Amino acid sequence: MLAFIARENERAINFINKYLVIYWSNVFMSTVNQLVRKPRKKKVTKSGVPALDSCPQKRGVCTRVYTTTPKKPNSALRKVARVRLTNAAEVTTYIGGEGHNLQEHSVILIRGGRVKDLPGVRYHTVRGALDTVGVDGRMQGRSKYGTKKPKK
């Protein structure tokens, strides 16, 4: 008889524990009145390209043109430029493609888009715009590198 009572007690305790979890999970929900008094806060999304000020591109002047090495598994000399923008922000921008004509005081156009293996580089130079020439001899993906259609 005692074993039966002990088993029944164990079942009752398991039942109570199971429903306590459900009860406590609902305790932390807000009531309608609480939400009327203090509404839920909207999540603020941070911009990945703050220096562009919600513009598609910005113009700037190169203050330094140099090469840098990428993060760990990769190895190369990536061409980058430090640029002072028209809104007085100073950013590091990646120069894509093979070869470039940029030097100090070149006026360039930048767009958003980070380079994953270069820390701190969140912008790309637009090839073929302002002082930046397009990539010579490019046949595929020409629009991304500012190259004109070759003459037949």
CATH assignment at residue 99: 2.40.50.140
Distance CA 58, CA 111 (A): 7
- Looking at the domain assignment, is residue 49 inside a domain? no
pTM over 0.85: no
pLDDT at 61 exceeding the cut of 60: yes
Q: Verify that 62 and 107 share a domain, yes or no.
A: yes
- How far from the centroid of its chain's Cα atoms is residue 100's Cα? 26
Residue 78 pLDDT level (bands cut at 50, 70, 90): very high
Residue 13 pLDDT level (bands cut at 50, 70, 90): confident
Q: Are 84 and 90 spatial neighbours (Cβ–Cβ below 8 Å)?
A: yes
19 or 68, higher pLDDT: 68
Q: Verify that 27 and 62 share a domain, yes or no.
A: no
Q: Verify that 19 and 66 share a domain, yes or no.
A: no
- The mean pLDDT of 38-47, rounded to a whole number, is 93
Q: Verify that 62 and 115 share a domain, yes or no.
A: yes
What residues form DSSP beta bridges with 61? 84, 107
> What tens digit of pLDDT does each residue of 127-147 get?
998 989 999 989 999 999 999
- Closest C-alpha to 96, from 142, 58, 59: 142
- Looking at the domain assignment, is residue 50 inside a domain? no
- Looking at the domain assignment, is residue 42 inside a domain? no
Domain boundaries, position 27: 1-34
- Looking at the domain assignment, is residue 142 inside a domain? no
Q: Verify that 59 and 129 share a domain, yes or no.
A: yes
Tell me the CA distances in angstroms from 29 to 20, 33, 41, 61, one per residue in order: 15, 12, 15, 54
- Looking at the domain assignment, is residue 130 inside a domain? yes
Distance CA 142, CA 148 (A): 7
